[in-house]
Amino acid sequence: MEQHSVHIPTTDTPPQTNQELHAFQENMRLMNVVVREMKEIAELPSEKPKDISPLQKVEFGEKEGVYTYMEGYEYPYKGFPFYEFVDRIDLMKKITRTTLSGIYHELKNRNKLWLLTLIPSLWIIKVLVRAGIYVFFRIVERFRLKSNRYCQAVRELHRVFSKENPNEKIADRDFRYRIRDALCMVLEFDNAYRYRFQDIIEDLDQERIKTHTVAELQRLLEVMSTREKTQEIKDTWKLFNYVVSIYLRFDKKVRNIIGDVLSEIDVEKVKLDEGDKCFCHKRKDYTFKYQNNVSR
């Protein structure tokens, strides 16, 4: 497959361009100094740079994909993790996790009989979920990628989400597209979630996900939780499991979308390949399935 490259400036860059680059870097450094001094919490642990590798070049496939070459890696990284996109996706992730966490801790100690009183108002919850999905869609809409520039795993997810259904109403189709765009952008620019998705997809029972969507999702979330090394992320999957076990039983449309997509996805195109594993090796927060197989 032919590719064309975008080369990153190096010490061989003409002096004028090099000076402009250094001026930009110094400007960014000084602004960060000012911001750190202004903030009550200067820097959170999650904001500290990790595994920074010098960028060498970026290649665009002739028809699809973007490949970022970094020093110290045999394979290119699939995608281009531009910091502004990554920050917005990280904000979406934090909003989702903290919202679910807040709801869970508000409800977990309440009498189960009290929860029955919420059943008549489930239609309100559906409205709120759709409103939240629309908000996330609008966040990513301004910097949404061309579908052919996603990495292979996300392109395949995008493909099955985009399959036409002649019996589907226009409003339902638009809702499915919003879920597609928000989810694809999250997986493209958050490699922690993307690699976990690519890892767990090999455990997916595509027959069962079609007929017993909720039960199969719960099983997969439990498997993922056992592979986590930190309690914080284990709790995240516990929260998602809680949502799946309750909400999806009442929202047939979302349940059917998930069942249809995962039953038709090409697992071979999504699962981790050698290039992905090259970047998974250094992750210390999750034990991938292939790592368990190697240790055995």
Task: Note the pLDDT of residue 236.
Answer: 83
Query: What is the reported pTM?
Result: 0.80
Residue with tokens 């368990």: 292
Residue scoring higher pLDDT (232 or 226):
226
Q: How confident is the model at residue 274 (pLDDT cuts 50, 70, 90)?
A: very high
Average pLDDT score over residue span 168-187: 94
Residue scoring higher pLDDT (234 or 214):
214
| CA 110 vs CA 107, 121, 245: distances in Å | 5, 17, 17
Nearest CA to 152 out of 4, 56, 290, 265 is that of: 265
Nearest CA to 137 out of 184, 90, 182 is that of: 182
The answer to whether residue 50 scores a pLDDT higher than 70 is: no
For helices 122-141 and 83-107, the axis angle rounded to 10 degrees is 170
DSSP 3-state of 165: coil
Give the C-alpha separation, 228 to 225, whole Å: 5
Give the C-alpha separation, 188 to 193, whole Å: 9
Average pLDDT score over residue span 130-147: 90
Residue scoring higher pLDDT (2 or 202):
202
Report the chain's mean pLDDT, rounded to a whole number: 84
Locate 29 and state its tokens: 């450094």
The answer to whether residue 158 scores a pLDDT higher than 90 is: yes
Give the C-alpha separation, 89 to 93, whole Å: 6
Residue scoring higher pLDDT (202 or 281):
202
Q: How far apart are the first and last CA of the chain?
A: 37
Q: E strands along the chain, which residues? A: 3-7, 55-61, 66-70, 77-78
The answer to whether residue 117 scores a pLDDT higher than 70 is: no
Nearest CA to 57 out of 43, 44, 46, 73 is that of: 73
Give the C-alpha separation, 30 to 87, whole Å: 20
For the chain, count helices (H), then strands (E): 14, 4
